[in-house]
Amino acid sequence: MVFRPGENSSAAKPIIEERVKVAINPKYPEQTVMIGTTLTEGGRNKLCALLQRNLDIFAWKPADMTGVPRHIAEHRLNVREGCSPVRQKKREQATDTNQAIQEEVEKLVGAGIMREVHYRDWLSNPVMVKKHDGSWRMCVDFKDLNKACPKDGYPLSKIDWKMESLCGFPFKCFLDTYKGYHQIQMTTKDED
């Protein structure tokens, strides 16, 4: 969202910038980057060339994800004392949804992101969400686990102001990690 100079973000009407989808890796043409059309054609070509020269630094499939090393960060489940684990009853899925779940699980197991657990304290169902392109995103229904964990109050401070402060810069880059949810490992004690 771009705001007009001098306007307050709460009162401003957003200017919607046109964007172009560009496939930079011929091996994965379905994976695209969005480039704003305010960049000149020459600028877009230079940006695409830069990205193509550095294809090796991007994760194109789950097996490419190296993750964040444990000594830098790991995720810990902060379950309140006295909370009993909840095992959700298995939900029936439609055939196409079940197939999508199976494919995603196979990818994640193959990449070492997911593994079979034999002693399950908490059991949550997968929830498949249809993306705008017709493919599926696998989520997990963690509502019971979320209820057992205290809420962290870390809002993004002054996000409107931070977005507005970018107004004078000719280039803005917003990055989204590929399957970023899987990049930080669980602590060893919380893995099972």
Give the residue extent of every domain in the chain.
1-75+155-192, 79-149
- Fold for the domain defined by 79-149: HIV Type 1 Reverse Transcriptase; Chain A, domain 1 (3.10.10)
Contact between 145 and 139 under an 8 Å Cβ cutoff? The reply is no
pLDDT of amino acid 1 = 42
The set of residues, in sequence order, having a beta carbon less than 8 Å from that of 108 and lying 6+ positions away, is 62, 114, 182
pLDDT of amino acid 165 = 84
| Positions in the chain whose pLDDT score sits under 50 | 1-7, 9
Dist. CA 87–CA 124, nearest whole Å: 7
Dist. CA 92–CA 102, nearest whole Å: 13
Contact between 29 and 147 under an 8 Å Cβ cutoff? The reply is no
CA 92 to chain centre: 26
- Beta strands 136-140 and 126-130 are antiparallel
